[in-house]
Chains A and B, each alone.
Chain A
Amino acid sequence: MEDSRRRFLKLAGISALGLTAKPVLDAFAKEHAKAPAPEFEEGPKALKAMQWAMVIDTRRFKSDADLQPIIDACDKIHNIPVFENKRHEIKWIWDEEYEHAFPTNPNKFLTERLKDTPFLVLCNHCENPPCVRACPTQATFKRKSDGIVLMDYHRCIGCRFCMAACPFGSRSFNFRDPRPFIPKITMQYPTRTRGVVEKCNFCAERLAVGKLPACVEASKGALVFGDLYDPKSEVRKLLKAHYTIRRKQELGTEPAVYYIV
């Protein structure tokens, strides 16, 4: 019984992944003695990094209208529901004024431009994430291969410890079934169930097939994405050339989203 199940899993793995049979078999062979753990095969076009990071050039944004296409792009592909009740809100990427995006870095006499500039905020994919530390089931975890802080919606018990732990308010909880409130469901990304936490995933599903995050793509160059530990990456070039700030740097979480102001 147990054996036939394993054989079935092997076959399923081979047929699903087609030509990459050998590593799959190896993976299963390695797991033979232990309980089978999920194994993923990277796509041939997958983008890779040690730690993905983003630089947001806020000088390019004048008003909310400049941000809306970026936010919409994310909302659309990630099946973000629209709720009238603000308490039930789900947000992955949204806009805040300077004083709310950087509340611990206030400036009484802020320049006119910054006062009126809307700031995009999203999960910072911290190098040292407090949410991951807090989660009691490892439903939220920092992916070792590229530093993205990810969520397993099927493991999350909905205790919301991660929401209390996040100093950036980047996490949302499904206070009710989101599905009836999704304007148009896309099949490229799963919808969520009620009772689990979710947040920005740096478009891990797009990186896996060689595409940049949706917000970056929609930003016409204002959002730049790349490997923080590759000195030749686009983000490192920008960080070298410009003074940047991060949200609540003093907490030591090492946010991976940088702002040129």
Chain B
Amino acid sequence: MLELAFKGSKNYFGWVLGLLVLIGIGFGFYLYQLKFGLGITGMSRDVSWGFYIANFTFLVGVAAGGVMVVIPYYLHDYKAFGKITILGEFLAIAALIMCLLFIVVDLGQPMRIFNVWIYPTLHSVLFWDTLVLNGYLLLNLIVGWNVLEAERNDTHYPAWVKPLIYISIPFAIGIHTVTAYLYCGLPGREFWLTAILAPRFLASAFAAGPALLILLCLFIRKTTRFDPGREQIQALAKIVAYAVCVNFFFFLCEVFVAFYSKIPEHMEHLTYLFAGLQGKGSLVPWMWGSVVLMLISIVLLVNPSTRRRENILMLSCACAFVGIWIDKGLGMISGGFVPSPLDHVTEYAPTFPEFMIAVGVYAAGVLVLTILYKIAVSVKEEVA
């Protein structure tokens, strides 16, 4: 099937070329980082994880969100989703590849990365995270490829694929649960030390993943002869509507616990994010922007008349996606580090090289997604 990726329009190849250029630029900055060290980033002794790990966390959510098309189709026999499960699985693959790349660029000694498996450490959550992430990646590759190939050859996929599909469902929940456990099991980091962190991560994942999938479906319908289907898009929209509401509810739960209990360590992080602390508050406009975007998406998605209009749906999905990206990609990680365990307020902002490396990683992910979607859509066009 891979040959399908090598046949395409001028626009397709132009897009691929553009992505390759971005990857090249990002790689150039990465070489600079390899030579100098992580000192080229905005990270510091106090804020020791930044943009890379935040985007990693966000993208784990996007990957897990793919399961929202798998569950209805394979567990509830919701036939309509059969058309688009492949899009969910391939989105997960691209997101996972970005996750792994973000981990690699964040390491101080990337050439030693296999120490994690050479010295397997069962009490480290990071060890388990590498297992579930790679496992989920592998499962999606095998399942997605086999199901699509069967569709192309007008046969049923081999029987041994079915158990892998079922296994991939707990894996999807697992990747974001284990990723939340990276944070929420650390003493002295009160912002993350909350039992609701994993559920909150999952809620935001099930909003951001399907929201992106809707945008991709609308794009595919516009640019190719394959129509993912109005019913499918509307069903996804309902999933996003529920998930953004639950996500916002979880956030309000956090706010209540912190500010009703009035325990300083619990309030400080939220105060820093939404009002600033000791005169420092570079994230304040971002965080309020995120709240506004999420509220807009809730209103437009819950209301059936706006949800059904596809151009408004596009807007509300974009709002949900960007709002969650800000919340998780900017607030969640920085917010946990500010103030520091010694109650110092050290702010963090990504530097230009750091930003460009992140752009390079995103470009690599989009390239993978482009190629996989090109193959999937070509097969769909063939069999249609």
Contacts and interface: CB of A to CB of B under 8 A. Distances in A.
Interface of A: 85-89, 91, 96, 99-101, 103-104, 106, 121, 130, 133-139, 155-161, 163-169, 172-177, 193-197, 248, 251-253
A129 to B, nearest CB: 10
A16 B119 CA distance: 28
The dominant DSSP class at the A interface is loop
Contacts of A101: 342
Interface string B230-257: 0000000000000000000000000000
Query: What are the nearest 8 A-B pairs in CB distance?
Result: A158-B108, A167-B188, A195-B108, A175-B39, A194-B37, A87-B44, A176-B39, A103-B343
Contact of B107 (A88, A99, A103, A195): A195
A136 B126 contact: yes
B43 A175 contact: yes
Contacts of B44: 86-89, 175
A161 B187 CA distance: 13
B182 interface: yes
Contact of B124 (A134, A194, A196): A134
A155 B108 CA distance: 11
A46 B167 CA distance: 54
B107 A159 contact: yes
B42 interface: yes
Nearest to A163: B48
B124 A161 contact: yes
Nearest to A137: B115
Given A103-B341, A173-B48, A158 B107 contact: yes
B314 to A, nearest CB: 37
Given A157-B107, A194-B36, 7 more contacts: A133-B124, A134-B125, A157-B110, A164-B49, A194-B108, A196-B109, A197-B108
Nearest to A162: B48
Given A88-B39, A195-B37, A172 B45 contact: yes
A137 B119 contact: yes
B340 interface: yes
A88 to B, nearest CB: 5
Interface in B318-355: 336-337, 340-344
Given A135-B121, A138-B119, A169-B342, A155 B186 contact: no
B112 to A, nearest CB: 5
What DSSP secondary structure best describes chain B's contact surface?
loop
A135 B337 CA distance: 18
A176 B33 CA distance: 9
24 contacts: A89-B45, A96-B342, A106-B264, A134-B124, A136-B124, A137-B115, A137-B118, A157-B108, A157-B112, A157-B113, A160-B48, A161-B126, A163-B45, A164-B336, A164-B337, A165-B187, A167-B186, A169-B45, A169-B46, A173-B108, A175-B44, A196-B109, A251-B187, A252-B187
A177 B342 contact: no
B34 to A, nearest CB: 9
Contacts of B189: 164, 167
B1 to A, nearest CB: 36
Interface string B67-111: 000000000000000000000000000000000000100111110
B62 to A, nearest CB: 22
A157 B105 CA distance: 12
B342 A103 contact: yes
Q: Which of A138, A161, A195 has the most CB of B within 10 A?
A: A195
A163 B38 CA distance: 15
B36 A176 contact: yes
A89 B125 CA distance: 27
A137 B124 CA distance: 8
Nearest to A100: B342
A205 B271 CA distance: 44
A251 B188 contact: yes
Contacts of B265: 103-104
B157 interface: no
B119 A176 contact: no
A155 B342 contact: no
A30 B331 CA distance: 52
Interface string B169-212: 00000000000001100111100000000000000000000000
Contact of A175 (B37, B46, B124, B344): B37
Contacts of A196: 108-109
A164 B48 CA distance: 7
Given A104-B265, A194-B37, A196-B109, A136 B121 contact: yes
B116 interface: yes
Contacts of A194: 36-39, 108
B185 to A, nearest CB: 8
B22 to A, nearest CB: 25
Contacts of B186: 130, 134, 164-165, 167
Nearest to A106: B264
A16 B343 CA distance: 48
A106 B265 CA distance: 11
A172 B44 CA distance: 9
B119 to A, nearest CB: 5
Contact of A87 (B42, B108, B116): B42
B127 interface: yes
B182 A136 contact: no
Interface in B23-37: 36-37
Contacts of B343: 99-100, 103
Contacts of A96: 342
B60 to A, nearest CB: 16
A156 B124 contact: no
B222 interface: no
A180 B363 CA distance: 36
B181 to A, nearest CB: 11
A100 B130 CA distance: 35
